[in-house]
């Protein structure tokens, strides 16, 4: 933490080997409601999922557990840093000597056990207790004398006892007393929020506050340690705990599995904001997945564009402890939702991230590399029927470990070639003969786009233990989703966009004995609506 020279609060970042590093990752909760069921294989699966999605940090949530040694060994192995809460969350705690001594012994045991793990980057006193005490109305339940006693206990535990244990048993380790430090208590969306100027932020105006996804781009703090949006698991997971008659968001079973107060209907409310009605329940699940992915990845990219003001983006959450709708990007069985694929793109080491503001398109490039990269940025404007309307390119220099605007274009350049409901951008960055990264960008909410229904053809070839899937399309296709009802496994890409005239090759890694992949389904956004395409 450092005071900013411009007087705009304090910086908040992690420095690795002398280099400030933007933290990309997610919050982590216990892997199962019944802890003995968590196998070493499941631990490795979730940590590897983080690494595969270009993450470099997980936040161990204070409402969970101090994990088994295997978890920390795996984080060391895969290069995943840990923001580690002490196990206190969302409640005020006693301050009597007996309780405090018990806490001290537990903290010492875990500090001694874990202090030599290079993956642990920070110990944090608690999850959301300070912001709850200040902003959630808890103080209204007590008289002045009681409030002083409760706060004294808080101060002793989180400002004195725990930091003293860290300093004594893990000298040099960073300690942060509460996450978030003040929270983000937005009562007026038109005023500046001082909470964004220092510390870490939990941003829940989207979802709990029922605000649009665009708020993610407006409210960016120094370190975004929680934000998120819910989705149901995919159909195979739903089938593991339902009968056919249960598969509607209003049924008793699906409402019982929903443990967030706003409930399943809030998912539908957001879907109605951004998407057309789904064909059926299975397509509802698909649209829910891309809704979650689009919304949360909008935040990820906004946070990365804002570096060095913002130096961390940890969404809620990577995993699940049971089969249920939740904020997770991978479900209880480890199946990747759309969000996990989107996170891998948004957290890629080299990111193209366009933004429209003040009647102009700003194209940012965000790089994790410690060296500059020089290449050609090519931008193409396509109609949804596949016609190329505009192509431009320029040589650009992408500074290392930075977010940089490399291209600015008046929106008139695009609007004079067609309605923004009929066109989209495709951008690619090329060095030498190699395409380093690419990006599709759309100018409006999906329900306002005049998408044409594509004819997507595919072929499948078995190569050893994996399958290579080759796809082509006659029209631009958005959020192409591959799924097999009989073969469970992992696709090296999914929920991706396609252009006509190209071949796309996807590798499928089956988990079970899958001799054939005859029932592969290919779904796209335009074909998932009740009123399909045009």
Question: Helix %, strand %, coil % for the chain, to 5?
Answer: 30, 30, 40
Give yes or no for residue 261 having a pLDDT over 90: no
Instruction: Round to the nearest angstrom and report the end-to-end CA distance of the chain.
Output: 53
Residue-averaged pLDDT of the chain = 95
Rounding to the nearest 10 degrees, give the CA dihedral for residues 31, 227, 80, 172.
-110
Instruction: Classify burial at 235, counting beta carbons within 10 Å of its beta carbon; exposed 0-12, middle 13-18, buried 19 or more.
Output: middle
CATH architecture of 12-85+180-232+289-346: Alpha-Beta Barrel (3.20)
- Can you tell me the distance from the alpha carbon of 139 to that of 151, in angstroms, rounded to the nearest whole number? 10
Give yes or no for residue 100 having a pLDDT over 70: yes
- Can you tell me the distance from the alpha carbon of 512 to that of 8, in angstroms, rounded to the nearest whole number? 54
- Can you tell me the distance from the alpha carbon of 6 to that of 310, in angstroms, rounded to the nearest whole number? 15
Instruction: Classify burial at 259, counting beta carbons within 10 Å of its beta carbon; exposed 0-12, middle 13-18, buried 19 or more.
Output: exposed
Q: What is the pLDDT of residues 399-414, one digit of tens each?
A: 999 999 999 999 999 9
- Can you tell me the distance from the alpha carbon of 49 to that of 312, in angstroms, rounded to the nearest whole number? 19
Token pair of 128 as six digits: 């959301």
- pLDDT score, position 516: 82
Sketch the domain layout of the chain as residue ranges: 12-85+180-232+289-346, 350-448, 456-528
Is the Cα torsion angle 449, 454, 459, 460 positive or negative in sign? Answer: positive
- 306 beta partners: none
- 510 beta partners: 489
Max CA-CA distance within the chain? 73
- pLDDT score, position 513: 79
Instruction: Work out the pLDDT band at 196, boundaries 50, 70, 90.
Output: confident
- Can you tell me the distance from the alpha carbon of 234 to that of 162, in angstroms, rounded to the nearest whole number? 41
Q: What is the pLDDT of residues 12-59, one digit of tens each?
A: 999 999 999 999 999 999 999 999 999 999 999 999 999 999 999 999
Top pLDDT among 194 and 206 is at 206
Neighbours of 191 (CB within 10 A): 8
Percentage of the residues of the chain whose pLDDT score is greater than 90: 90
Same fold, 350-448 and 456-528: yes
- Can you tell me the distance from the alpha carbon of 473 to that of 453, in angstroms, rounded to the nearest whole number? 10
Q: What is the pLDDT of residues 221-253, one digit of tens each?
A: 999 999 999 999 999 999 999 999 999 999 999
Task: Report helix, strand or coil for 505.
Answer: strand
- pLDDT score, position 3: 53
Instruction: Work out the pLDDT band at 191, boundaries 50, 70, 90.
Output: low
Neighbours of 222 (CB within 10 A): 27
Instruction: Work out the pLDDT band at 6, boundaries 50, 70, 90.
Output: low
- Can you tell me the distance from the alpha carbon of 429 to that of 394, in angstroms, rounded to the nearest whole number? 10
Give yes or no for residue 192 having a pLDDT over 80: no
Protein fold of 456-528:
Immunoglobulin-like (2.60.40)
Q: What's the number of CA atoms in the CB half-sphere (13 Å) around residue 38?
A: 22
Would you call 128 a catalytic residue per the annotation?
yes
Instruction: Work out the pLDDT band at 182, boundaries 50, 70, 90.
Output: low
Q: What is the pLDDT of residues 417-442, one digit of tens each?
A: 999 999 999 999 999 888 999 999 99
The CATH superfamily label for domain 350-448 reads Immunoglobulins (2.60.40.10)
Q: What is the pLDDT of residues 470-483, one digit of tens each?
A: 999 999 999 999 99
- pLDDT score, position 534: 44
Q: Which residues of 73-102 are buried (b: 16+ CB within 10 A; e: fewer)?
A: bbbbebebbbbbbbbbbeebbebeeeebee
360-367 and 402-410: which strand pairing?
antiparallel
Q: Which of 41, 70, 106, 128 is catalytic?
A: 128
Selection from 17, 167, 25, 21 nearest residue 82 by Cα: 25
């Amino acid at each position: 933490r450092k005071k900013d020279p411009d007087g705009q609060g304090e910086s908040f970042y992690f420095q690795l080997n002398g280099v400030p590093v933007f933290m990309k990752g997610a919050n982590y909760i216990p892997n199962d409601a019944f802890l003995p069921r968590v196998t070493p294989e499941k631990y490795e699966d979730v940590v590897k999922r983080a690494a595969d999605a270009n993450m470099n940090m997980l936040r161990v949530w204070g409402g969970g557990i101090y994990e088994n040694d295997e978890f920390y060994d795996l984080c060391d192995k895969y290069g995943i840093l840990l923001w580690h809460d002490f196990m206190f969350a969302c409640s005020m705690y006693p301050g009597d000597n007996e309780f405090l001594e018990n806490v001290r012994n537990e903290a010492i045991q875990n500090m001694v056990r874990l202090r030599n793990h290079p993956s642990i980057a920070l110990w944090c006193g608690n999850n959301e207790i300070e912001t709850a005490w200040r902003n959630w109305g808890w103080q209204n339940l007590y008289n002045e004398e009681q409030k002083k006693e409760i706060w004294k206990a808080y101060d002793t535990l989180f400002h004195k006892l725990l930091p003293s244990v860290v300093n004594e048993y893990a000298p040099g380790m960073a300690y942060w007393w509460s996450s978030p430090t003040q929270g983000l208590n937005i009562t007026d969306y038109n005023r500046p929020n001082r909470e964004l100027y220092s510390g870490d932020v939990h941003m829940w105006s989207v979802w709990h506050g029922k605000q649009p996804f665009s708020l993610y781009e407006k409210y960016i703090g120094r370190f975004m340690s929680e934000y998120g949006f819910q989705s149901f698991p995919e159909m195979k997971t739903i089938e593991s705990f339902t009968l056919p008659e249960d598969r509607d968001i209003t049924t008793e079973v699906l409402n019982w599995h929903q443990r967030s107060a706003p409930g399943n209907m809030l998912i539908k409310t957001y879907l109605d904001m951004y998407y057309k009605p789904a064909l059926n329940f299975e397509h509802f699940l698909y649209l829910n997945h891309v809704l979650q992915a689009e919304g949360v990845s909008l935040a990820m990219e906004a946070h990365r564009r804002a570096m060095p003001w913002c130096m961390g983006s940890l969404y809620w959450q990577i995993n699940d402890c049971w089969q249920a709708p939740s904020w997770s990007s991978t479900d209880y069985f480890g199946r990747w939702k759309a969000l996990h694929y989107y996170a891998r793109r948004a957290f890629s080491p080299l990111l193209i991230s366009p933004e429209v503001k003040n009647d102009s398109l700003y194209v940012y490039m965000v790089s994790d590399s410690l060296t500059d990269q020089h290449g050609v940025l090519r931008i193409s404007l396509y109609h949804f029927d596949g016609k190329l309307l505009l192509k431009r390119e320029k040589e650009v220099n992408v500074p290392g470990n930075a977010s940089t605007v490399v291209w600015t274009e008046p929106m008139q350049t695009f609007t004079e070639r067609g309605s923004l409901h009929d066109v989209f951008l495709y951008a690619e960055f090329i060095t030498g003969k190699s395409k380093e990264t690419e990006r599709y960008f759309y100018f409006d909410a999906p329900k306002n786009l005049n998408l044409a229904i594509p004819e997507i053809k595919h072929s499948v070839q078995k190569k050893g233990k994996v399958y290579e899937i080759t796809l082509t399309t006659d029209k631009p296709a958005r959020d192409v989703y591959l799924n097999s009802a009989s073969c469970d496994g992992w696709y090296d890409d999914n929920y991706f966009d396609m252009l006509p005239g190209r071949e796309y090759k996807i590798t499928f890694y089956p988990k079970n004995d899958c001799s054939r992949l005859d029932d592969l389904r290919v779904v796209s956004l335009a074909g998932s609506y009740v009123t399909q395409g045009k």
